[in-house]
Structure 1
Amino acid sequence: MQASNGVGAHIEIRKLSLYREETLTEAGRPPARPAFRASVAAVVSNPWVGTPATTDLSAAAIAMAPRLAKVLTDKLIQALGGVDAIEAFGKAAIVGTAGEIEHGGALIHTPYFGNLVREFLAGESIICFADARADAGETLVVPLWHKEHAATRSHYQTVSARVPDAPRADEIVVIAAASTGPRPHPRIGDRTTDPAVTAQKLEEVRS
């Protein structure tokens, strides 16, 4: 698949992998709110393989990251029923063994990816993330939280992403993930209403 970011640069996406799940029962009961979780992974060639650790990564990141953000979020939106249905999001990258962990960061930890994922999914929160360097087939657990209110603890959850034949040594797997709702039975309160807890206060309780 050839993709252009609109400024003359092209990237080749070897494969797109979509994972989608719905929990039908948890602890013997249906979820309080039915929710779908999904991840979309794009397998791309690593343009920095073989370059020294001093290499400036910005040019290739600017060329690749915006298009990846668009392709991945389009697939998420389609899989989860529209932008308005999505409540939580996350991002991740798995770098093949010939690359640096920084190569994955160049594609997901800059405004050229993160800001656009946030915009395309109508979010406001900083996007939580995971990254790793691994052989093909590695499973990465991608953390999610609420796309507008990061302190909403009910939406702290994860979704797994795995591409059986990627990343090859010279590839990067770039992932966007999302959920349409909270964990099945959230009941541990919220950060905005938590009491002030300190070690000193806990010591006083124990004494």
Structure 2
Amino acid sequence: MPDVILRKTVFSLEEIYHEGGPVADTPLLRGSALAIIRNPFAGRYEPEIKGFMEDLKPLGLRMAQRLVDLLGGPERIEGYGKGSLIGEAGELEHGALWHAPGGYAMRQLLADTKAIVPSAKKVGGVGARLDVPITHINAAYVRSHFDSMEVGCNDAPRADEMAFALVMTTGPRIHSRSGGLEAWDIKGEDGLR
């Protein structure tokens, strides 16, 4: 498979104290890591691409580690998600190559997570943005952790690039009060409840 050629990374950290209600003593942290790489399949149809997932694993682990560190350590992480933005000379399927390297990197560093890592992907031009879905790391049905974080970069993805994203949070939405399964009621059996 081709080499992973990294142009740049972009990291973002939000500290959310309130959404119009009372100010929280401890802010919710929401962070993202975005890696802009050359798309080795841009401009042509390549029938065999899944081997590139193996080549992306080290990138996924580096990004996940930096993001965990940015948010204060693995014990603080409660939510996660991943996403892909593919430049115009690529195809949506190229974004699917991030599923295993991105998701398993976070799950490996966070240890003993049960829930599947939600994802989003799309093809877009330079400056495109992507809303990356977020759910609880151990139970996808925990409504307080249903969230998303917008990611993007002003000069990416270029037509021959891919932008791969990881997103993590330290807790539920600020002022969550929509009911449903609560984090303290997780059974941890199936990644759903």
Q: TM-score, normalised by structure 1?
A: 0.81
Deviant stretches of 4+, over 3 Å = none
Q: Does 1:68 align with 2:37?
A: no
2:107 to 118, 135, 153: 118
Determine the C-alpha separation between the residues in 1 that align with 2:78 and 2:41: 34
In the alignment, what sits opposite 1:13?
6
Q: Give per-residue Cα distances to partners, 1:69-107, cap 9 Å, x unaligned.
A: 11210111111000111110000000000000100112x
What does residue range 108-187 of structure 1 map to in structure 2 within 5 Å?
Answer: 108-109=98-99, 111-122=100-111, 123-187=113-177
Question: TM-score, normalization: structure 2?
Answer: 0.87
Is 1:47 matched up with 2:40? yes
What letter is aligned with 1:121?
L
Question: Deviations along 1:112-132, whole A, 9 cap, x unmatched?
Answer: 442232112332210011111
- Count the aligned residue pairs: 182
Are residues 1:31 and 2:24 paired? Answer: yes
**Equivalence for 2:88:** 97
- State whether residues 69 and 116 of structure 1, in contact with CA within 8 Å, keep that contact through their aligned partners in structure 2: yes
The residue number in structure 2 matching 1:201 is none
Instruction: Single out whichever of 90-99 and 73-82 deviates more from structure 2.
Output: 73-82
Q: Could you say if the C-alpha distance between residues 172 and 9 of structure 1 is closer, same or farther in structure 2, counting changes exceeding 3 Å? A: closer
Note the residue ranges of structure 2 that are not aligned, 5 or more in a row.
186-193
Query: Contact 2:43–2:160 (CA<8 Å) still a contact in 1?
Result: no
Query: What is the rounded CA distance, in whole Å, between the counterparts of 2:24 and 2:10 in structure 1?
Result: 27
In the alignment, the residues of structure 2 paired with residue 72 and residue 48 of structure 1 have an alpha-carbon distance, to the nearest angstrom, of 22
Instruction: Determine what percentage of the aligned residue pairs are the same residue.
Output: 32
Unaligned 5+ runs, structure 1: 1-7, 194-207
Matches of 1:132 and 1:185, distance apart in 2: 31
Larger Rg: 1
